[in-house]
Chain A
Amino acid sequence: MKTAIETHNLTVAYNRRPVLWDIDFQIPEGQLIGVLGPNGSGKTTLLKSLMGLVQPSSGYVRLFGQSLDEVRSRISYVPQRESVDWDFPISVREVAVMGRYRKHKLLGRLNKEDHRLADEALEKVGMLSFADRQIAQLSGGQQQRVFVARALAQQADLYLMDEPFAGVDAASEEAILSLLKEMKQAGKTVLIVHHDLHTAHQFFDWMVLLNTRLIKCGPTSSVFTADYLKQAYGGQLTILSQVSDLVKARDFPIRERSFKDQPK
Chain B
Amino acid sequence: MSDFFTFSDPNVRLVTAGTILLGISAAIVGTFTFLRKRALVGDAIAHAILPGVCLSFMITGEKHPAYLLVGAVLAGWLSLLVMDYLSSRTKLSTDTAIGAVLSVFFGAGILLLTSIQHSGSANQAGLDQFLFGKAAAMTQRDIWVFSGVAVVLLGLVLAFFRSFKLISFDPAFAKSIGLPVRRLEFLLSTITVLAVATGIQAVGVVLMAALLITPAAAARFWTDRIQVMILLAAAFGLLSGLFGSWISYTAPSMPTGPWIVVLLSMIAVVSVVVAPKRGIWARLRLQRSNARKIRQENILKAFYGIGEAADAPVATVAVDMLRQQRPFEDIALQLGLRELVKKGLLHKHKPGSYALTPTGLQESRRVVRLHRLWELYLTERMNYAADHVHNTAEAIEHVITPEVEAALLRELDHPILDPHDAVIPYQNPSKPSAS
- Chain A interfacial positions (CB closer than 8 Å to B): 48, 51-53, 69, 72, 75-77, 79, 83-85, 88-91, 94-95, 98, 101-103, 106-107, 110, 134, 136, 150, 154
Q: Tell me whether B186 is interfacial, beta carbon within 8 Å.
A: no
Pair A72/B169 contact, Cβ less than 8 Å: no
Pick from A79, A88, A102: contact of B172, CB below 8 A.
A79
B224 — which chain A residues lie within 8 A by C-beta? 89, 91, 134, 136
**Minimum-distance CB pairs A-B, first 6:** A134-B224, A77-B176, A103-B178, A89-B226, A72-B178, A84-B170
Pick from B173, B178, B223: contact of A98, CB below 8 A.
B173
Pair A84/B169 contact, Cβ less than 8 Å: yes
Main SS of the interface on chain B? helix
B423 — which chain A residues lie within 8 A by C-beta? none
Nearest CB of A to B220, in Å:
7
Could you list 28 examples of A-B contacts with CB < 8 Å?
Answer: A51-B176, A53-B175, A53-B176, A76-B176, A77-B172, A79-B172, A83-B170, A84-B169, A88-B168, A89-B224, A89-B226, A90-B165, A90-B225, A94-B165, A98-B169, A98-B170, A101-B162, A101-B163, A101-B177, A101-B179, A102-B178, A103-B178, A103-B179, A106-B160, A107-B160, A136-B224, A150-B173, A154-B177
Given contacts A69-B178, A89-B226, A101-B179, contact A77 B163 (CB under 8 A): no
Q: Who on chain A is nearest to B224 by CB?
A: A134
Given contacts A69-B178, A72-B178, contact A106 B163 (CB under 8 A): yes
Pick from B172, B174, B220, B225: contact of A91, CB below 8 A.
B225
A103 CA to B174 CA in the complex, in Å? 9
A110 CA to B166 CA in the complex, in Å? 14
A132 CA to B137 CA in the complex, in Å? 47
A106 CA to B174 CA in the complex, in Å? 11
Pick from B170, B179, B223, B229: contact of A79, CB below 8 A.
B170
Q: Tell me whether B180 is interfacial, beta carbon within 8 Å.
A: yes
Nearest CB of A to B334, in Å:
38
A-B Cβ contacts below 8 A, count: 74
Nearest CB of B to A251, in Å:
12
A102 — which chain B residues lie within 8 A by C-beta? 177-178
Pair B177/A103 contact, Cβ less than 8 Å: yes
Given contacts A75-B176, A101-B179, A106-B160, contact A90 B226 (CB under 8 A): yes
A51 CA to B175 CA in the complex, in Å? 9
A98 CA to B166 CA in the complex, in Å? 7
A86 CA to B220 CA in the complex, in Å? 14
Q: List 17 additional A-B contacts (Cβ < 8 Å) besides A48-B172, A69-B178, A84-B170.
A: A51-B175, A77-B176, A77-B177, A79-B170, A79-B173, A84-B169, A85-B169, A88-B169, A88-B226, A89-B224, A89-B226, A90-B165, A94-B165, A101-B163, A101-B179, A106-B180, A136-B224
A184 CA to B366 CA in the complex, in Å? 48
Pair B169/A52 contact, Cβ less than 8 Å: no
B223 — which chain A residues lie within 8 A by C-beta? 89
A90 — which chain B residues lie within 8 A by C-beta? 165, 169, 225-226
Q: Tell me whether B35 is interfacial, beta carbon within 8 Å.
A: yes
B173 — which chain A residues lie within 8 A by C-beta? 77, 79, 98, 150
Q: Tell me whether B310 is interfacial, beta carbon within 8 Å.
A: no
A102 CA to B177 CA in the complex, in Å? 7
Q: Tell me whether B159 is interfacial, beta carbon within 8 Å.
A: yes
A154 — which chain B residues lie within 8 A by C-beta? 177
Given contacts A89-B223, A89-B226, contact A106 B172 (CB under 8 A): no
Q: Which of chain B's residues 146-195 have a Cβ closer than 8 Å to chain A?
A: 159-160, 162-163, 165-166, 168-170, 172-180
Q: Who on chain B is nearest to A109 by CB?
A: B162
Pair B177/A72 contact, Cβ less than 8 Å: yes
B226 — which chain A residues lie within 8 A by C-beta? 88-90
B175 — which chain A residues lie within 8 A by C-beta? 51-53
A94 — which chain B residues lie within 8 A by C-beta? 165
Q: Who on chain B is nearest to A95 by CB?
A: B169
Q: Who on chain A is nearest to B172 by CB?
A: A79
Q: Which of A51, A91, A98 has the most CB of B within 10 A?
A: A98
B168 — which chain A residues lie within 8 A by C-beta? 88
A106 CA to B184 CA in the complex, in Å? 10
Pair B159/A88 contact, Cβ less than 8 Å: no
B170 — which chain A residues lie within 8 A by C-beta? 79, 83-84, 98
Q: Who on chain A is nearest to B230 by CB?
A: A89
A110 CA to B161 CA in the complex, in Å? 13
Q: Who on chain B is nearest to A88 by CB?
A: B169
B229 — which chain A residues lie within 8 A by C-beta? 89
Nearest CB of A to B143, in Å:
30
